[in-house]
Every structure is written in C-alpha cells, then in structure tokens.
C-alpha cells in the first residue's frame, strides 16, 4: 500500500532559519546559553532568595546547620538523611516558628 503523503528529500536552503547553523553560529549559541545560565544562577536565584520568604528561611536554615546542599542526595554521604530531614523541617515548620515568635 502506498502512502498518500509521499516524502521527498528537499535540498537545504542556507538562508532558512531552520537550517543548522555553521560553526560560528554554534559557538554564539553556546556562549548565549552559558551567559543565560550564569545570569539565572548569579542574579535571579539570589534575587528570588532575597524576595521570597520560604526560600529565605530555607537559605537561613541551610546556613545555620552547615548543610552542604550539593551533598544532600548522594547516599554515600553521611549528611544525606540529616539534610533531608532538615530541609523538610525548614519548609514544614516555618509557619509554626513564626507564630511562636509573636
């Protein structure tokens, strides 16, 4: 049975926005992606921590307890279980701690 929509290979058009970029274009896209990632990590993330109370409290708890956030989810690190419980407690008991201070 023949397909009703036959597919023919079409020659690529170098001026098409869908054609793959050349080497300078790929390098530019890589630099833009790295710049955007750096902007998010060093500008937007600290801004979000400063402006949002749950993130601010979480950051405070992490700093006070000395938890290494990068080591939280590796099972061979002894701080994994303690870090997980501290993370959950920091979010779960934030409102209750604020009510007690009133």
Distance between CA atoms of 11 and 17, rounded to whole angstroms?
14
- The angle, 0 to 180 degrees and rounded to 10, between the axes of the packed helices 80-92 and 53-65 is 140
pLDDT digits (tens, 9 = 90+) for 12-46: 665 666 666 677 888 899 999 999 999 999 999 99
Contact 79, 71 (CB under 8 A): yes
Residues 6+ apart with CB under 8 A from 79: 67, 68, 71, 72
pTM of the model: 0.48
**Do residues 33 and 44 share a domain?**
yes
**Do residues 98 and 67 share a domain?**
yes
Q: Express as a percent the part of the chain with pLDDT over 70.
A: 58
pLDDT at 102 over 60: no
**Do residues 44 and 66 share a domain?**
no
The parent domain of residue 89 ranges over 52-102
Helices marked H in the chain = 23-39, 45-51, 53-65, 80-92, 94-100
**Do residues 28 and 61 share a domain?**
no
Write down the mean pLDDT value for the chain. Answer: 75
């Amino acid at each position: 049975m023949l397909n009703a929509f036959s597919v023919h290979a079409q020659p690529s058009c170098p001026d098409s926005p869908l054609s793959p970029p050349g080497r300078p274009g790929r390098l530019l896209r890589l630099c833009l992606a790295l710049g955007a990632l750096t902007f998010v990590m060093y500008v937007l993330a600290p801004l979000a921590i400063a402006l949002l109370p749950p993130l601010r409290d979480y950051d405070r708890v992490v700093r006070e307890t000395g938890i290494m956030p990068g080591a939280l989810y590796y099972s061979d690190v002894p701080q994994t279980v303690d870090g997980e419980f501290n993370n959950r407690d920091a979010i779960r008991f934030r409102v209750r701690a604020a009510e007690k201070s009133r």
